[in-house]
Chains A and B, each alone.
Chain A
């Protein structure tokens, strides 16, 4: 059984006449695999990532999602995180007044507690964050500020990867982590992500640009269109998409 198993997922916007966004999406991610999802704007990529993380604005009408055989959709948001789901947001939000260090520590300890593990000691925690932050070019000053407050677009993306590095999830979903990054930052972030690749961890990397996939080389590339995966292939599929765009799929759908 796949670690993450999304089967025929249908979902709509919460509410009476909420529009259907996911229309029968299936995807299996095994430990150690990196899956890239590409697809036109509005095809439902972020919606998929939100539904996996547990955002309440959507309603699943059909299909299932399991993580290690457990029903993910039944779990509370924080429970999913404790089970190892991590979403790097397309638009990380600012949390004024909650220092990044406090936030990271609360998150890590809450997850540990839920898993029945001991809380991390203060020196261990400080060392952990310092090491990971240094690698991602995140300054101590940024860590003292409110979460993402006053961070540039690129800094916010780096901060998301720092959170991932500290929380060590089982399945990471990176939603356009490359957008807004300059060339150097793209390298730093990619290295950060690659450092987290492991035989135990699965990743879903959502992107619009083949360039990212030169740095984070995926095992599979999927094309998402109108709420479904319409094609899957190896990393060469990304090159093909880069050359031809999505015209082919637009026609199919028409």
Chain B
């Protein structure tokens, strides 16, 4: 650790430290200790800046100008009107507004056998084995966004699927922000028992033109032989700051397929930490990110292969218009015992705008000798020959670009297994392109 003298605290850091003086009271002694430790870590380390390796391209210290007061509960009529994402997918929808589950807008009836859902606040108050898992997934390094979330999130959703239960209908946690600019924190916990199956979707949305802040963290505990699909859609308002953290603990023989779509927020950062503890699991983390104007989105992944025979796949597609900026940092670590690891990471970016920028930083750290790992990154404009071919058949320029961009992101979206969710993602990408044309 560098014995660097901490620079002056920014107004945002000071404001956040102020908020951290009043930690939520729910939870047992362990949870309170977690909150206090996280608050202390934030007070010691503050917001990350560009000299912090993992935040090199997303200088949160500069980008986050002020700390906002923590949001008050939203009015459910407003929330209902604003919650638009993934509504026609047939998923069981749970609405989390300004960080708190809204029971009257959530479909909590007739839960399938083996499925349990509870608001985090209630679960923490009740205690028990399930919430004992909360906060046990550690990134292994200081992560400011996660620390703030651990310290300040009072609610969210706890979802558990009992061993052997395969839940066909996707569960969708719709995060909605409404009201005046404020900061909202939500924490979710998803626990799959042995051989369980679940499709978990989460979406984020809120008003345009309101500079609100969203900080979400979801922990996924996936037991042996379980199967988990994750589909995310980040469509926060164009002035919002979106921070989210996804943590996965993966047992053996697991099938995990996670996909993230994003075209929202002024500044977004998604950190994903996956720890592969069990042998012979297959995991995929894919994404499609479409940005315009001066939007900035950072996807940072850390996949930790700790044991033998696992397969990991990452495919990220960025489409960058105007002077937007995409960041992909992907790190695959293959520890010495993780022989026969098969890891492939690919990041591709399409630059539509002359001033758009993509920063790619793929990394492999391999300590085992019998592995097949690789990574690649490409970045460029739409192929002129392809454009010419389409135009020579009569398709106007913008439409030709749209078709090619759809095809480009389609390769990633196709990895989503659920038909309705996949269709919703395709439609969202189409709408983005239409708005551009």
Contact = CB atoms under 8 A, between A and B. Distances in A.
A89 interface: yes
A188 B400 CA distance: 30
A96 to B, nearest CB: 6
Interface of A: 53-56, 76-78, 80-82, 87, 89, 92-93, 95-98, 102-103, 106-108, 110-111, 114, 146, 163, 167
Given A103-B403, A106-B399, A93 B392 contact: no
A82 B406 CA distance: 24
Nearest to A99: B407
Contacts of B400: 78
Contacts of B395: 78, 106-107, 110
Given A53-B392, A54-B392, A81-B394, 13 more contacts: A54-B391, A77-B392, A82-B394, A93-B389, A95-B386, A95-B389, A95-B407, A97-B406, A98-B390, A107-B395, A110-B394, A114-B396, A167-B394
Interface in B398-422: 399-400, 403-404, 406-408, 410-411
A87 to B, nearest CB: 6
What 4 A-B pairs have minimum CB-CB distances, sorted nearest first?
A: A97-B407, A81-B394, A107-B393, A77-B391
17 contacts: A55-B388, A78-B392, A78-B394, A80-B392, A81-B391, A87-B392, A89-B389, A93-B386, A96-B411, A97-B407, A97-B410, A98-B404, A103-B393, A106-B399, A106-B403, A110-B395, A111-B394
A44 B400 CA distance: 28
Nearest to B392: A53
Contacts of B397: 76, 78
A92 B399 CA distance: 20
Nearest to B393: A107
A92 B406 CA distance: 21
Nearest to B405: A97
B385 interface: yes
A146 B407 contact: yes
* Of A76, A78, A103, most B-chain CB atoms within 10 Å: A78
Contacts of B407: 95-98, 146
A102 B393 CA distance: 12
B384 to A, nearest CB: 8
Given A106-B399, A146-B407, A93 B393 contact: no
Interface residues of B, number: 22
A154 B33 CA distance: 70
Interface string B349-391: 0000000000000000000000000000000000011101111
Given A95-B407, A106-B399, A110-B399, A81 B392 contact: yes
Contacts of A54: 391-392
A107 B391 CA distance: 8
A78 B404 contact: no
Contact of B396 (A92, A97, A110): A110
A141 B411 CA distance: 19
A180 to B, nearest CB: 18
Contacts of A114: 394, 396
A163 to B, nearest CB: 7
Nearest to A77: B391
B393 A163 contact: yes
Contacts of B408: 97
A98 B403 contact: yes
A212 B391 CA distance: 28
Contacts of B389: 89, 92-93, 95
A167 B395 CA distance: 12
A93 B400 CA distance: 15
A93 B408 CA distance: 16
Contacts of A111: 394
A108 B394 CA distance: 7
A95 B386 CA distance: 7
Contacts of A102: 403
Contacts of A56: 384, 388
A108 B395 CA distance: 8
Given A97-B411, A146-B407, A103 B394 contact: no
* Of B385, B390, B404, B410, most A-chain CB atoms within 10 Å: B390
Contacts of B386: 93, 95
Nearest to A84: B394
Contacts of A78: 391-397, 400
Contacts of B391: 54, 76-78, 81
